[in-house]
Amino acid sequence: MKMQLALRALAVAREPVRLSLEGGAVSYDGVIERVGADFLELRLLNGGQYPRIYERGSYAHESREARAPGAGVRIIPLARLSAVIARISR
């Protein structure tokens, strides 16, 4: 399965994800809005950038898309992704 297909499935499901870039030096929490051939658009949650340590309770519980002021959209080249962490809820 190509990475783009997996990312598109997460975008359709509107699942919150944590994207780790550049070997874990930078990470963003958000919801994937769109996936292209070599990039994705990430709608940031809770203002955006977080330390590289994954914390289970870091996602907003009251609303899937609760965003703090200043949150926005980041365009991220797929080549910069080092990890995608998705919290799957059923």
Sheet with 81-86: strands ordered across: 73-77, 39-50, 26-35, 16-21, 81-86
pTM higher than 0.85: no
Q: What pLDDT, on a 0 to 100 scale, did the predictor assign at position 17?
A: 93
**And the tokens for 58?**
């870091």
Q: Smallest Cα–Cα separation from 40: which of 50, 51, 28, 25?
A: 28
* 3-86 to CATH, choices 3.30.420.130, 1.10.3720.10, 3.40.605.10, 2.30.30.100: 2.30.30.100
Q: What pLDDT, on a 0 to 100 scale, did the predictor assign at position 31?
A: 93
Confidence of residue 24 (pLDDT cuts 50, 70, 90): confident
For the cut 70, the answer to whether the pLDDT of residue 29 exceeds it is: yes
- 33-82 pLDDT, tens per residue? 999 999 999 999 865 554 443 344 444 443 444 444 445 899 999 999 99
Write down the domain spans for the chain: 3-86
